[in-house]
Structure 1
Amino acid sequence: MIQTLNIQLIHGIYAEDSWEITIEVPENYKLIDLSSIILDSIEFDDDHLFEFYISKLPRSKMRERFECDEEEITKISIGEIAEKLTGKSLFYLFDYGDSWLFKINKTRKKLFTPIKNIQYPQIIKQVGTKPEQYPDYDEY
C-alpha cells in the first residue's frame, strides 16, 4: 500500500524561504529509506548524522527516538510509524551542527494500492525554494 506524507522544512540554519513536499511512498519502506528520500528531494549530501523522533511538538521532551546508528532504523517501516502518529508528528533532524529539522505528517489521503506504471516514491507536490546545504559561507 502507498502512504502519502507531507514533509516540511521547519528549521535550517541557511534556509531563507519555506520548503515542503508531499510524497507518495510504499508503507513498507523503512526509516532509513525515508531519510534518503528527503535528502534526495532537497538535494543534500548524506554526510551527517541524523535521527527521527515522534512527539507532539519539535522541542517536546517526551519523544520516541530512532537514531541513525541504531539497527531499528533499518527495520521499522513507514507504516508502523504512521500508526503511532495520532496526535503527534514525526520529525527528522539532519546534521546536528546545522540542525536541519523537518516535520513529517500523514495527509488525509487514505492508503491506496500502487498504480501500475508509477515509480514510487514520487513527489506529487513541492512548494517553496530548496535551501542550499553548503552555501557560500562569506554571505553569512
Structure 2
Amino acid sequence: MTLIPNFKVGLVRGHGSPRDWEGSFAIEPGATLEDVHALTQNAVQFDDDHGYEFYIARTFKSRPSEVFDDENGGIYRRTLASLFPLPAKHALFYCFDPGDNWIFEIKAARGGPLVEACGEAESGLMGALGTRPVQYPDGDE
C-alpha cells in the first residue's frame, strides 16, 4: 500500500475556536475527498451531521476555481493523487457545516515523494498539534 506521509489538515476558521490545530495523516493517494472528510471528522471528533464541500482557491476567502461536493459528485470521484500538485498559489480547502463555516486547509508534505509503506500501515491520524476544536463549544447541537 502506498501512502502520502505527513499529509496535513489545519484549521483555518472555526466557530470561535483557536486556529492552531493541525493534524498529520498518512493517507492512500487513491483516497477520495469523502475519505479525507471521514478522517478529518474522526480526528477532530465532530459529529458528521452537516453538509460539506472541498474547493481549490488562492485563500479560504477567495472565489473557488473548482468545487467538489455531493451535488456534482466530486467528493466521491476526485482522489488526492488527482488533485496534487495543486496549481501555483492555490490551496485545497475543506468546508464543513456552512452555517458555522468550519474551514480546514489540506496540504501534502513538502519534498516527500510517495513512499511504499511497510507492514500493516493504515490511513489515519499520525499526530496533532494545537488545541483540538470543539464543534459545539456552547453546547448548541
TM-score if structure 2 supplies the norm length? 0.88
- Please report how far the alpha carbon of residue 81 of structure 1 lies from its aligned counterpart in structure 2 after TM superposition: 1.3
Aligned counterpart, 1:80: 82
Q: Name structure 1 gaps, 5 residues minimum.
A: none
Aligned counterpart, 1:15: 17
3-state SS, counterpart of residue 99 of structure 2: coil
Which deviates the most, 98-107 or 72-81? 72-81
- Please report how far the alpha carbon of residue 3 of structure 1 lies from its aligned counterpart in structure 2 after TM superposition: 1.4
Whole-angstrom distance in 2 between the partners of 1:87 and 1:74 = 25
Aligned counterpart, 1:60: 62
Whole-angstrom distance in 1 between the partners of 2:38 and 2:49 = 11
3-state SS, counterpart of residue 35 of structure 1: helix
Give the counterpart letter for 2:18 in structure 1. Answer: E
Q: CA RMSD in A?
A: 1.7
Distance 1:128 1:67, change over 3 A: same
TM-score if structure 1 supplies the norm length? 0.88
3-state SS, counterpart of residue 31 of structure 2: coil
Aligned counterpart, 1:3: 4
| Aligned residues of 2:39 and 2:124 also touching (Cα < 8 A) | no
Q: Name structure 2 gaps, 5 residues minimum.
A: none
- Please report how far the alpha carbon of residue 137 of structure 1 lies from its aligned counterpart in structure 2 after TM superposition: 4.6
Q: How many pairs are equivalent?
A: 137
Aligned counterpart, 1:93: 95
- Please report how far the alpha carbon of residue 17 of structure 1 lies from its aligned counterpart in structure 2 after TM superposition: 5.2
